[in-house]
Structure 1
Amino acid sequence: MNRLKIGVDVGGTFTDIVGIDDNGKVFYAKTPSTPQDQSIGVVTGIRRLLADLNMPTDVVKEIAHGTTVATNTLLEHNGAVTALITTEGFRDVLQIGRQSRPFLYDLHAKRPEPLIPRYLRQEASERTIYTGTILVQLDEERLRKTVRELVAEGAQSIAVCFLHSYANAENEQRALKVIKEEAPKLYVSVSSDILPEFREYERMNTTVINAYVQPRMDHYVSQLTKHISEAGVDAPLMIMKSTGGMMTDAIAASKSVNTLLSGPAGGVLAAEFLSNISGYKNLITCDMGGTSFDVAVIQNGQVGIGNEGVIEGYPVMFPHIDITTIGAGGGSIAWIDAGGALRVGPKSAGAVPGPVCYSKGGTEPTITDAHVAIGFIGTELLAGEMKIDVDAARRAIQEKLADRLGMSIEETAEGILRVSNANMIRAIRTMTVEKGIDPRKFALLPFGGAGALQAVEHARALEIKHVIIPPAPGNFSAFGLLAAPIRYDEVVTYRARQDKVDLKKMENLMRGLEKTAMDEMKRDAVESSSMSFEYSADIRYFGQAYSLSVRIHDSSMSESTWNQVIADFHQCHIQTYGFKNEHDPVEIVNLRLAVIEKTNNADLYAKGKKVSNPVVNHTTRSVFIKDGWVPAAIYKRADLPVGYTIQGPAVIEEQGCTSVLGPGDGATIDDRMSIVVTVASVQEYEDCLHNLIMKAGM
Structure 2
Amino acid sequence: MKYTLGVDVGGTFTDLFVLNDAGQVFVHKTPSTPANPARAIVDGAKELCKKFDIAPSDVTRFCHGTTVATNALIQRRGGKVCMITTRGFKDVIEIARQVRPKYYDLYEDYPAPLVKRQDRFEITERVGFDGGVVQQIDRDELAGIVDSIELGGYDACAICLLFSYNNPEHERIIAEEVRKRLPNLRLSVSSEVQPEFREYERFSTTLLNGYLLSVMTEYMKTLEQEVAENFGNTQLGVNQSSGGLMSVNRAQLFPIRTALSGPAAGVVGAIEIARQAGRKKVITLDMGGTSADVALIRDYGFDISLDRAIEGFPVRLPSIDIDSVGAGGGSVAWLDLDGLMKVGPESAGSYPGPACYKRGGTKPTVSDANLLLGRLSNRGLLNGTMPLDVSLSETAIKPLSEKLGLEEKRTAQGILSIVVANMVRAVRGISVERGLDPREYTLLAFGGAGPLHASAVAHALDMKEILVPPSPGILCAQGLVVSDHIERFVRTIRLPLDDDKAGEKLFEALTELRADAERWLQTEDLLPDVQRSSDVVVDMRYRGQNFELSVPLTGVQRQGVTEELRNAFFAAHERNYGFHNPKDPVEIVNLRLTESVKLYNAKAMQISKTTVEEPVPEGTRAVYYDQEAPLQAPVYDRAKFQPGMTFTGPAIVEQLDATTVVFPGDQVVIQENGSMLITVN
- Normalised by the length of structure 2, the TM-score is 0.96
Residue 690 (structure 1) aligns with: none
- What residue identity is the alignment partner of 2:275? N
Distance, in Å, in 1 between the alignment partners of 2:143 and 2:432 is 53
Distance, in Å, in 2 between the alignment partners of 1:97 and 1:574 is 31
Residue 525 (structure 2) aligns with: 525
- What residue identity is the alignment partner of 1:642? P
Map 1:605-684 onto structure 2 (within 5 A).
605-614=605-614, 616-626=616-626, 627-680=628-681
Residue 383 (structure 2) aligns with: 383
Give yes or no for contact 2:497–2:562 (8 Å, CA) kept in 1.
no
CA offset digits 1:282-335 (Å, max 9, x no partner): 111111111221111111111211222222222211111111122221122222
1:597 deviation in Å? 0.8
- Normalised by the length of structure 1, the TM-score is 0.94
1:331 aligns with 2:330: yes
Say which is worse superposed, 26-35 or 519-528, in terms of deviation. 519-528
Give yes or no for contact 1:435–1:575 (8 Å, CA) kept in 2.
no
Shift in CA distance, 139/599, structure 1 to aligned 2, threshold 3 Å: same
Give yes or no for contact 1:33–1:351 (8 Å, CA) kept in 2.
no
Map 1:167-566 onto structure 2 (within 5 A).
167-379=166-378, 380-399=380-399, 401-500=400-499, 502-527=502-527, 530-559=531-560, 561-566=561-566
Say which is worse superposed, 274-283 or 124-133, in terms of deviation. 274-283
Residue 18 (structure 1) aligns with: 17
Residue 577 (structure 2) aligns with: 577
Shift in CA distance, 602/229, structure 1 to aligned 2, threshold 3 Å: closer
- What residue identity is the alignment partner of 1:204? F
Distance, in Å, in 2 between the alignment partners of 1:580 and 1:649 is 50
Distance, in Å, in 2 between the alignment partners of 1:335 and 1:569 is 48
Residue 684 (structure 1) aligns with: none
Give yes or no for contact 2:424–2:457 (8 Å, CA) kept in 1.
yes
Say which is worse superposed, 9-18 or 323-332, in terms of deviation. 323-332
Would you say how many aligned residue pairs link Structure 1 and Structure 2? Answer: 677
Unmatched 5+ residue regions in structure 1?
A: 681-698
Residue 157 (structure 1) aligns with: 156
1:17 deviation in Å? 0.2
- What residue identity is the alignment partner of 1:661? V
Residue 6 (structure 1) aligns with: 5
1:204 deviation in Å? 0.5
Distance, in Å, in 1 between the alignment partners of 2:129 and 2:184 is 32
Give yes or no for contact 2:240–2:264 (8 Å, CA) kept in 1.
yes
Distance, in Å, in 2 between the alignment partners of 1:372 and 1:364 is 14
Shift in CA distance, 109/615, structure 1 to aligned 2, threshold 3 Å: closer
1:587 deviation in Å? 1.1
CA offset digits 1:97-122 (Å, max 9, x no partner): 11433233443342222221211112
Distance, in Å, in 2 between the alignment partners of 1:553 and 1:485 is 21
What SS does the aligned partner of 1:384 have? Answer: coil
What SS does the aligned partner of 1:415 have? Answer: helix
Distance, in Å, in 1 between the alignment partners of 2:371 and 2:497 is 60
CA offset digits 1:246-281 (Å, max 9, x no partner): 111111011111111111111101111223333100
1:449 deviation in Å? 0.7
Residue 694 (structure 1) aligns with: none
Distance, in Å, in 2 between the alignment partners of 1:396 and 1:642 is 41
- What residue identity is the alignment partner of 1:602? A
CA offset digits 1:201-252 (Å, max 9, x no partner): 1110110010011111111111212332343544221100111111111110
Distance, in Å, in 2 between the alignment partners of 1:522 and 1:458 is 47
Distance, in Å, in 2 between the alignment partners of 1:465 and 1:439 is 9
CA offset digits 1:427-453 (Å, max 9, x no partner): 112222222322121111111111110
Give yes or no for contact 2:468–2:677 (8 Å, CA) kept in 1.
yes
1:608 deviation in Å? 4.0
Unmatched 5+ residue regions in structure 2?
A: none
Q: CA RMSD in A?
A: 1.6
Residue 586 (structure 2) aligns with: 586
Give yes or no for contact 2:8–2:65 (8 Å, CA) kept in 1.
yes
- What residue identity is the alignment partner of 2:389? D
Give yes or no for contact 2:216–2:252 (8 Å, CA) kept in 1.
yes
Residue 81 (structure 2) aligns with: 82
Shift in CA distance, 460/151, structure 1 to aligned 2, threshold 3 Å: farther
Distance, in Å, in 2 between the alignment partners of 1:56 and 1:671 is 29
